[in-house]
Copies of this chain bind each other. A is one copy, B any other.
Amino acid sequence: MVTINDVAELAGLSKSTVSRVINHYPHVSQEKKQKVYQAMKTLGYVPNSSARSLRNKKTQMIAVIVPRLMNPFFGQLIESMEVAATEQGYQLLICQTMYSKETELGHLELLKMKQVDGMILASLENEWETISEYLTYGPLIMCNEFEEDANIPIVKLDQIHGGYIATKHLLEEGHRRIAYCSGGHKSMVAQHRKLGFKKALKEYGLEFEERYSFLDAYSIKDGMRVFHELNQMEEPPTAVFTGGDEVAAGLITAAKENGVRIPKDLSVIGFDNQVVTKIMDPKISTIEQPIQLMAQQAIKVLVEKIASKQDPQKERYEFPLKLIVRESTGRSPLRAVE
């Protein structure tokens, strides 16, 4: 193995000078630096610190796995995690799965290879049985997306309540034909929201209608597509639960372009309270998700698990959601005469 002595010899400099260069100490001339770097390169020398992965030392790095960063919900989640991780002295590596099982497993290898001290899963592509095998290598926690049976900490939002209060608001405005949009099929976040949606319907003696259900709704473009589909229905819905502010923004844009007035003809409720809700005309009613609190808690819990080195435990942390009524929801046109 190449040592620092070999580098010093080839560079024609003292071992302490080489050490100063490697550790970025000040007051080393550019010329000496170049000599050291050239010698390191020629010999293929890697500073000792990179041997840490084999010495079971901590890397002070955390990885977080998300599906897509283009979704502003995850952009905000990552940003809050970044701030919290830095405060705790950890570096955050961000990994996208693009909804691929294989890519997710590739990212989990970071834990196996000891390149990170712990990992936060903000999305789940593989079965928990597959993912749980990686617990051997370090702590894993879930944040946002979840698997109820997993014997690890989960930091999440109360999605059942979120689905419930959004739908209840529409029902209270007299709407009875309410379209339901959602993204993932497997996602527990989506399943819980749907439970909340159904719970509210049930209180009004209504059942979930498949004809008003729209899947794969994630983006502004998807919102536009949903509008065109529901606009062609014989008995179109008078309100839409979109499951996302971007979907709501797309739906409203398409509606306006087609002369459908929001909220007079059609009420639209978003989900997330992203900044897009405040720049749309009309401004979008939505459900506020306390993303920052959830992100901070996730970092706090993971850092504790890294420090304690105990076996993972089933811990649950849940944050509440809040209805924000703006301009995109109003009285049902079918009930306006009452």
A residues near B (Cβ < 8 Å) are: 24, 30, 33, 37, 40-41, 44, 46-47, 49-54, 56, 68-70, 72, 75-76, 78-79, 82-83, 86, 91-96, 98, 100, 103, 106-107, 112-115, 129, 133, 135-137, 219-221, 249-250, 252-253, 256, 275-276, 278-281
9 sampled A-B residue pairs with Cβ under 8 A:
A41-B136, A46-B114, A69-B69, A91-B95, A91-B107, A92-B95, A94-B95, A280-B280, A281-B281
Known interface pairs A40-B136, A253-B278; 4 further A-B residue pairs with C-beta atoms within 8 A, sorted by A's residue number? A37-B136, A41-B136, A79-B98, A93-B95
Complex Cα distance, B50 from A56, in Å, reads 11
Contacts of A41 in B (CB 8 A): 136
A37-B136, A72-B70, A98-B86 are contacts. A279–B50 as well, Cβ < 8 Å? no
Query: Are A50 and B112 neighbours in the complex by a CB distance under 8 Å?
Result: yes
Q: Which residue of B lies closest to A37 (CB)?
A: B136
Which of B68, B106, B249 interacts with A91 by CB under 8 Å? B106
Complex Cα distance, B54 from A112, in Å, reads 16
Q: Which residue of B lies closest to A51 (CB)?
A: B54
Complex Cα distance, B40 from A96, in Å, reads 29
Contacts of A72 in B (CB 8 A): 70, 72
Complex Cα distance, B50 from A202, in Å, reads 54
Q: Which residue of B lies closest to A221 (CB)?
A: B275
A39 to chain B minimum Cβ distance, whole angstroms, is 10
A188 to chain B minimum Cβ distance, whole angstroms, is 23
Q: Which residue of B lies closest to A44 (CB)?
A: B56
Q: Which residue of B lies closest to A93 (CB)?
A: B93
